[in-house]
């Protein structure tokens, strides 16, 4: 009887140890999930370097791969408002109504989609970005943000790039972005800032598209 009793105790101890390890693994997994940053789930992510269109001209003389970041951002924001057109079709429609001039989206107020309206632009090229304004704009929509493509080089518009911001990181110190450079969901400061730059220093402006009910 003693040997059986001892064996039973050993089995219980082993089972309890295994359950404890499983519980620890579950807790660790849950912590990792809780720590993960939200990924853009409301946008269709597009890349200007997508092989399907990187060499296509979005307007005469300008290809998506070399300068199509803003057009791709318009397509991503449009997808938030239910527009299914991919970047080439968005560009075709913008070009048809004369939105472009010398490769730039110079007349965004002509955007031909009934779901979208041009909400204006905000420039912070010479002053720190207003994060309160940025937060207000992000309350109900993603926004297009102007950044410096090669941080520390020439400032926009000479070294201009655009990304789509969907919200702040949990600590409020960075932005969660969709980057048309490669279609990645990432952080703004990880790509478009030097190590000592704040978010206020790294955001140069906004391009606002509003949803139309």
- Does residue 21 lie in a domain region? yes
> Is the confidence at residue 12, as pLDDT, over 60?
no
pTM: 0.82
Same domain, 67 and 141: yes
Q: How far is 160 from 3, CA to CA, in rounded Å?
A: 78
Same domain, 117 and 18: no
Q: At what angle do helices 69-80 and 87-96 cross, to 10 degrees?
A: 100
- Does residue 42 lie in a domain region? no
b/e code 38-48 from CB counts within 10 Å (16+ = b): eebeebbbbbb
Same domain, 65 and 151: yes
- Does residue 164 lie in a domain region? yes
Same domain, 131 and 204: yes
The number of domains in the chain is 2
pLDDT (average), residues 6-27: 57
- Does residue 179 lie in a domain region? yes
- Does residue 50 lie in a domain region? no
- Does residue 83 lie in a domain region? yes
Predicted pLDDT of residue 213 = 79
Same domain, 20 and 62: no
Same domain, 67 and 130: yes
Which residue has tokens 């911001």? 165
Same domain, 161 and 131: yes
Predicted pLDDT of residue 184 = 97
Same domain, 21 and 74: no
Pick from 119, 130, 48, 53: nearest CA to 81 = 119
- Does residue 20 lie in a domain region? yes
> Is the confidence at residue 23, as pLDDT, over 80?
no
Model pLDDT for residues 116-131, shown as the tens digit of each residue: 999 999 999 999 999 9
Residue 4 structural domain: 1-36
> Is the confidence at residue 2, as pLDDT, over 70?
no
Q: Give me the helices (H) in 38-102, please.
A: 64-67, 69-80, 87-96
- In this predicted model, which residue has the larger pLDDT, 88 or 6? 88
Predicted pLDDT of residue 29 = 47
Predicted pLDDT of residue 1 = 52
Pick from 186, 149, 173, 166: nearest CA to 67 = 149
> Is the confidence at residue 197, as pLDDT, over 60?
yes
CATH number of domain containing 83: 3.90.70.10
- What percentage of the chain carries pLDDT values higher than 70? 81
DSSP E strands, 33-124: 57-59, 62-63, 116-123
- Does residue 90 lie in a domain region? yes
Same domain, 28 and 114: no
């Amino acid at each position: 009887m003693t040997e059986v009793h001892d064996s039973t105790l050993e089995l219980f101890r082993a089972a309890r140890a295994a359950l404890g390890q499983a519980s620890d693994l579950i807790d660790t997994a849950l912590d990792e999930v809780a720590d993960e940053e939200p990924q853009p789930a409301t946008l269709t992510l597009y890349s200007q370097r997508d092989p399907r269109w990187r060499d296509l001209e979005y307007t005469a003389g300008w290809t998506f791969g070399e300068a199509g970041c803003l057009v791709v951002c318009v397509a991503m924001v449009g997808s938030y408002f239910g527009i299914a057109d991919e970047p080439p079709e968005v560009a075709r429609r913008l070009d048809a109504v004369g939105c472009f001039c010398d490769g730039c989206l110079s007349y965004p107020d002509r955007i031909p989609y009934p779901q979208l309206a041009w909400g204006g632009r905000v420039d912070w090229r010479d002053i720190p970005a207003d994060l309160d304004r940025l937060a207000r704009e992000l309350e109900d929509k993603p926004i297009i943000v102007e950044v410096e493509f090669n941080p520390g080089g020439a400032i926009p518009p000479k070294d201009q790039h655009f990304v789509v911001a969907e919200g702040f990181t949990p600590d409020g110190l960075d932005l969660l972005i969709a980057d048309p450079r490669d279609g990645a969901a990432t952080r703004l400061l990880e790509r478009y800032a030097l190590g000592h730059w704040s978010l206020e220093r790294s955001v140069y402006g906004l391009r606002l598209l509003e949803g139309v009910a």
